[in-house]
Amino acid sequence: MTYLLHIDSSAVPDRSVSRDVAATFLTAWQKEHPDASVVHRDLAAAPLPHLTADGVIGRITGPDDRTDGQAAAIALQNTLIEEFLGADAYLFTVPMYNRSVPSVFKAWIDQVFVNGRVLFAVPDQVPTRGRRAVAVTSRGGGYGPGTPHEGHDHVVPYLTTVLGGSLGLDLEFVVPELTMAHRSPAMAALRPKADASLAQAHEEAERLARQL
Rounded to an integer, the average pLDDT of 39-57 is 97
What is d(CA 38, CA 22) in angstroms, rounded to the nearest whole number?
Answer: 12
Q: Could you tell me the strand order of the sheet in which 37-42 lies?
A: 37-42, 3-8, 89-93, 132-136, 170-174
What is d(CA 135, CA 175) in angstroms, rounded to the nearest whole number?
Answer: 8
Domain hosting 57: range is 3-211
Per-residue H/E/C for the chain: CCEEEEEECCCCCCCCHHHHHHHHHHHHHHHHCCCCEEEEEECCCCCCCCCCHHHHHHHHCCHHHCCHHHHHHHHHHHHHHHHHHCCCEEEEECCCECCECCHHHHHHHHHHCCECCCECCCHHHCCCCCCEEEEECCCCCCCCCCCCCCCCCCCHHHHHHHHHHHCCCEEEEECCCCCCCCCCHHHHHHHHHHHHHHHHHHHHHHHHHHHC
| Count of structural domains, the chain | 1
11-20 pLDDT tens trace: 998 889 999 9
Q: pTM of this prediction?
A: 0.94
Q: What is the CATH number of the domain that holds 126?
A: 3.40.50.360
Rounded to an integer, the average pLDDT of 27-56 is 96
Check pLDDT > 60 for residue 64: yes
163-172 pLDDT tens trace: 999 999 999 9
Q: Report pLDDT for 212.
A: 83
122-157 pLDDT tens trace: 999 999 999 999 999 999 999 988 888 889 999 999
pLDDT band at 1 (very low <50, low <70, confident <90, very high): low
Rounded to an integer, the average pLDDT of 52-65 is 97
